[in-house]
């Protein structure tokens, strides 16, 4: 049975992630101990809310360095994907983990595009990746976010919300999903299953 550690740092809805992983047969550990985070087989960094608060919590718990140094599969979810980048425009500018180049920016509202972007959007694959095996261009995912990551070399799949929104990203052993895979029905379950099957 695959073991996965979910970083429980007070800035993410860890329970729904835990239940989704357990439905797939994984052994889930909720943890915020730096040593155990460093030794995990694979790691999920969830997140909701403000980037500044999330980074402060990670710093207070001594988790920034072990997450930056983590060399096995790492998946950031929602705000957790944004934290993988260098900076966020939120507030007066928030330094992030710096694992993927780029600055997270606020989404622009429009007449039919309220902020936050909340609801189902279709995924469009940019390039193949093991995390997206079996997830086609007709797949839909559930988003809740006001900020978006930069669209660049790390983008694996996009959604559209008045422009391209990087929905899945990757750099080396670090992946991110801007949406909530634990709330995204079959497509989300497939992505989590693929993550559990990545070689550690």
Q: Answer whether the bond into residue 116 is a cis peptide, omega within 30°.
A: yes
Q: Residue 69: which of 37, 115, 47 has the closest Cα?
A: 37
- Interatomic CA distance for residues 115 and 165, integer angstroms: 13
Residue 169's SS3 state is strand
- Interatomic CA distance for residues 125 and 103, integer angstroms: 22
Strands (E), 13-172: 27-31, 43-45, 74-77, 87-88, 94-95, 103-106, 117-122, 124-125, 140-145, 147-148, 155-160, 164-171
Residue of 78, 90, 145, 177 with catalytic role:
78
Could you confirm whether 177 is annotated as catalytic? no
Residue of 90, 145, 177, 180 with catalytic role:
180
Which residues are catalytic, by number? 78, 180, 182
């Amino acid at each position: 049975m695959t073991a996965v550690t979910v970083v429980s740092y007070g800035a993410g809805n860890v329970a729904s992630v835990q239940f989704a992983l357990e439905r797939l047969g994984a052994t889930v550990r909720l943890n915020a101990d730096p040593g155990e985070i460093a030794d995990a087989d694979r790691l999920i960094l969830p997140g909701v809310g403000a980037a500044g608060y999330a980074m402060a919590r990670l710093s207070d718990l001594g988790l920034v360095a072990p997450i930056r140094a983590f060399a096995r599969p790492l998946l950031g979810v929602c705000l957790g994907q944004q934290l993988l980048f260098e900076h966020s425009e939120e507030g007066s500018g928030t330094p992030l983990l710096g694992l993927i180049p780029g600055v997270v920016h606020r989404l622009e509202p429009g007449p039919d595009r309220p902020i936050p972007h909340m609801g189902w959007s279709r995924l469009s694959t940019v390039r193949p990746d093991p995390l997206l095996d079996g997830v086609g261009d007709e797949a839909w995912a559930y988003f809740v976010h006001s900020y978006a990551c930069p669209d660049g070399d790390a983008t694996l799949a996009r959604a559209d919300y008045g422009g391209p929104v990087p929905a899945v990203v990757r750099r080396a052993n670090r992946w991110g999903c801007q949406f909530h895979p634990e709330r995204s029905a079959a497509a989300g379950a497939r992505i989590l299953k693929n993550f559990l099957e990545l070689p550690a």
